[in-house]
Amino acid sequence: MSLHLHAHPLASFCHKVLIALYEHGTPFENHLLDLADPGAKADFLALWPVGKMPLLRDEARARTVPETSIIVEYLERHYPGPRPLLPADPERALDVRLWDRFFDLYVHAPMQKIVLDRLRGEHERDPRGVAEARATLATAYAMIERQAQHEWICGDEFGLADCAATPALFYAGVVEPFPAGHPRLHAYFERLLARPSVRRVLAEARPYFDMFPYREAMPARFLREDAPA
């Protein structure tokens, strides 16, 4: 097996790459990464000293590829699937890359700020930072509501930006539920959940949901073994 993905089923950024791999049907070996294990952590840091997951290792090309957007583009270039996740047209590709970054920076990052703050000790918490993160999510939700005028975020084809949107919105919607007045956002999220690649990723993550710091706020439909997504 040439491709090796170092990831964890609960980790939101790992979902983004897994969705892309499953969309393409790309063969790969999935290495469950436990950073709480000193030996596993040391081995991982030897590959990527920054220590952020996921990480792709391509043995056939002797290449280690970090960062989710770069991993997906690397797969597009060297292991393309039946349908591209990035348009061939440069202008349309810019739009997809913009919304990929949008979901990472303005949905994913503030969501993680809120989640990680709960893991801190009482004296280490940052209520102001959490309030700012929630305000960023509110702004992002409103922008997605305006953008979501087609089946997928950048038009009629599922792509890189939708891979980024899925885990960002999945976890963000738990810690800061979508406003009732954003019907397009709600509908877009439901379309994401119905995607077979997304259903597979969430099914693999479900056994680990008890580890999620906001587990008590997670909708019951995501916790059932027969959950639709």
For residue 153, being part of any structural domain is answered with: yes
CB 85 within 8 A of CB 23: yes
Residues 115 and 153 in one domain: yes
Residues 100 and 50 in one domain: no
For residue 55, being part of any structural domain is answered with: yes
Give Cα separations from 148 to 31, 62, 143, 177, 224 (angstroms).
35, 39, 9, 17, 28
Domain tally, the chain: 2
For tokens 């939101």, name the residue: 12
For residue 83, being part of any structural domain is answered with: no
Residues 68 and 106 in one domain: no
Residues 104 and 154 in one domain: yes
For residue 151, being part of any structural domain is answered with: yes
Q: What is the pLDDT of residue 58?
A: 97
Assign residue 56 the CATH number of its domain: 3.40.30.10
Block means of pLDDT (10 residues each) for the chain, length 229 residues?
A: 93 98 96 89 92 95 97 96 94 98 98 96 93 98 98 97 98 98 98 98 96 95 70
Residues 113 and 207 in one domain: yes
For residue 141, being part of any structural domain is answered with: yes
pTM: 0.94
56, 78, 100 — which closes off a domain? Answer: 78
Residues 126 and 203 in one domain: yes
* Radius of gyration, alpha carbons of the chain: 17
Residues 30 and 139 in one domain: no
DSSP E strand stretches across the chain: 3-7, 29-32, 55-58, 63-66
Residues 141 and 213 in one domain: yes
Residues 45 and 9 in one domain: yes
CA distance 213 to 115: 6
> Cα–Cα–Cα angle for 33, 165, 173, nearest 5°?
90
For residue 211, being part of any structural domain is answered with: yes
> Which residues, listed in sequence order, are joined to residue 57 by a DSSP beta bridge?
4, 64
CA distance 75 to 3: 10
Q: What is the pLDDT of residue 225?
A: 65
Sheet architecture: strand order including 63-66: 29-32, 3-7, 55-58, 63-66
78, 113, 129 — which closes off a domain? Answer: 78
Residues 109 and 207 in one domain: yes
The domain in which residue 22 lies consists of: 3-78
Q: What is the pLDDT of residue 226?
A: 58
CA distance 94 to 100: 10
Contacts of 70 (CB under 8 A, 6+ apart): none
Give Cα separations from 29 to 167, 206, 210 (angstroms).
21, 20, 25
Assign residue 116 the CATH number of its domain: 1.20.1050.10
Residues 109 and 170 in one domain: yes
Please report, in angstroms and rounded to a whole number, the separation of the first and last CA atoms in the chain: 29
φ, ψ dihedrals at 63, nearest 5°: -130, 130
For residue 214, being part of any structural domain is answered with: yes
CB 148 within 8 A of CB 107: no
For residue 84, being part of any structural domain is answered with: no
For tokens 């209520």, name the residue: 127
Q: What is the pLDDT of residue 37?
A: 87
CB 31 within 8 A of CB 59: no
Q: Which of 95, 98, 88, 75 is nearest to 17 (CA)?
A: 75
